[in-house]
A = this chain, B = another copy of it.
Amino acid sequence: MNKNRLEAFSDGVLAIIITIMVLEIKIPHGTDLAAIKPLIPVAFSYLFSFIYVGIYWNNHHHLFQVVKGVNGAILWGNLHLLFWISLLPFATGWIDENHFASLPVAFYGFILAMCGLAWKILTLIIMKHEGTDSRLRQVYKSDYKQYLSVVGYVSGIALSFYYPAVSVLMYVLVALIWFIPDRRIERNLKNH
């Protein structure tokens, strides 16, 4: 079965998730700087959430470039990933509303870790479906990004109860290593 609808549906869901938070930026009644001051954390929250969902969209985009077909298991693996990503705006907003309090920071790390886990599961289901000549398997020989992410998320959650600012730094570092979508996929596509 072809992958078109999985991509189209994911694009629709991610388009909604990425723009949800802009609805939270309520139009202020005043016209001076004081009127928009309370909106600044909401705007940063939107920006940060936009970037993180953007990272997932970009990597999802690259991932499915090397996938040929889909089956029922891949559809569910993908829905599972979308479910966790859909909680990112909420998790980002909760941190933001509370100036980096411990529990929201830990919760944010948990959602990020579940997104990462769902990503890992999805790639495993795809490789299993595609068998030994899986293009993804060739590309994903090493998984260093995923191991680094686990370290980042786990340490981030653990540290959130002592130094929540450091946790957020860990999450940002993990985001950075995924910011550039997989170049190995781009190279693989060029060579075939």
Which residues of A approach B to under 8 Å, CB–CB?
1, 4-9, 11-20, 22-23, 25, 27-33, 36, 47, 50, 54, 57-58, 61-62, 64-65, 71-72, 75-76, 79, 82-83, 86-87, 89-90, 93-94, 97-98, 101-104, 107, 180-181, 183, 186, 189
Contacts and interface: CB of A to CB of B under 8 A. Distances in A.
Contacts of A36: 103, 107
This chain: copies in complex: 4
A76 B58 contact: yes
Nearest to A87: B22
A contact patch SS: helix
A104 B11 contact: no
A186 B83 CA distance: 25
A9 B31 CA distance: 34
B79 A72 contact: no
Given A20-B23, A57-B79, A61-B75, 7 more contacts: A9-B61, A12-B12, A12-B16, A22-B90, A27-B93, A50-B79, A62-B72
Nearest to A31: B101
A27 B142 CA distance: 38
Contacts of A50: 79, 83, 86
A30 B6 CA distance: 38
